[in-house]
Structure 1
Amino acid sequence: MSSESQARDGLHDESRTRDVVRGYHEARFRGDVPTAAALIGDEFSFRSPLMTSDDAAGHLAGIVGFVQVVTGVDLISELYGESEATLVYDVHTATPVGTQRTAEHFKLVDGRIASILLIFDATPWQPMRQLMG
C-alpha cells in the first residue's frame, strides 16, 4: 500500500471517528438515548469525577435527567484520530453551576465508542449531589 493510500485511509478513519463521536455528542444532548446507545460498543466504560460505569446501560441511564437541566452546549474544539477523539465544550445549565467547561476523550473499537473519559471541575456540583443523596 502506498503512503498516499495509507494517508487517505487514515483520513477516512478520522472521518468515521468524527461521525461516530459527533453523532453520540449530539444525540446525548438531545436526550436521544437510542441513537447514543447505537454508537456505543458492547464493551464500554465511562469515567468522570462524579460517576463511573462499566456498561452502556448504566451510563445512558442518567442522560435524560441531565439534559433536562442543560440549556445549551458550545463546542470549543474537536480533535479526531483513527480510533480516538477529544471534544472540549461548555455546557450551560439551569443550575447554580451555570456553565461547566468540559473535556471528553473517546476511544473507539471497531467503529463504536469503547470508552469515554469526562474531565471537568466537579467542585460546583458537590452541594447539589449532597442534596440529591
Structure 2
Amino acid sequence: MANDNAQTIVQQYHRAWTSGDIDTAMDLVADDIACRAPGGDLHGKEAYRGFIGGFAPMLTGIGDIAEFVDGDRVALFYYPQTAATSTTPAAEFFTIEDGKIAQSVLIFDRPSYGPPQQA
C-alpha cells in the first residue's frame, strides 16, 4: 500500500509542477522539505517553491519518464525540455513521509539549461 501511495503522490506532484501548477505541487510537499540540488541545498517549502517555480516557466515539454518505487521512496528519470535543451536528462529521488514529499535529491546538468554560450 505504501508503494501505491508514494508513487501516486510523486506522480501528482510531477504532473502539477511540470504543467505550471506550482500551488498544487506544493500541496504535496512537506513544510520542512530538504532538497539536495545542483548549486546548493534547499530547506523548507518556500525555498523549494522558489526553485521549482523559477524553472517551471522555462519548460516546453517533458519526455520519456521512467519510475522506480521502493516503499516510500520513488525515483523519476525524465527529459525536461526547454528552449536550451530537449536531450539533457534529469533524475529526482523522493522520500515520502506522512503523505508528503519530505526529501528530494535532484540531479541534472545545470549548464545545459542556461543560455547558449557565445563562440
TM class by shorter-chain length?
0.7 to 0.9
Could you state the TM-score of these two structures normalised by the residue count of structure 2?
A: 0.85
Unaligned runs of 5+ in 2: none
For normalisation by structure 1, the TM-score amounts to 0.77
Give the deviation of 1:33 after TM superposition: 1.5
Q: Distance in 2 between matches of 1:75 and 1:92?
A: 11
Structure 1 stretches lacking a partner, 5+ long:
1-11
Tell whether the 8 Å contact from 2:79 to 2:86 is kept in structure 1 after alignment: no
Larger Rg: 1
> The residue matched to 2:88 in structure 1 has which SS?
strand
Greater per-residue helix proportion: 1
**Aligned match of 2:91:** 103
Name the residue aligned to 2:23.
34
Measure, in 1, the Cα distance between the counterparts of 2:53 and 2:44. 17
| Counterpart AA for 1:38 | D
Q: Say whether residues 1:59 and 2:48 are aligned partners.
A: yes
**SS at the partner of 1:65?**
helix
What's the C-alpha RMSD, in Å, of the aligned pairs? 2.0
User: By how many angstroms is 1:61 displaced?
Assistant: 1.6
Deviation at 1:43, TM superposition (A): 2.1
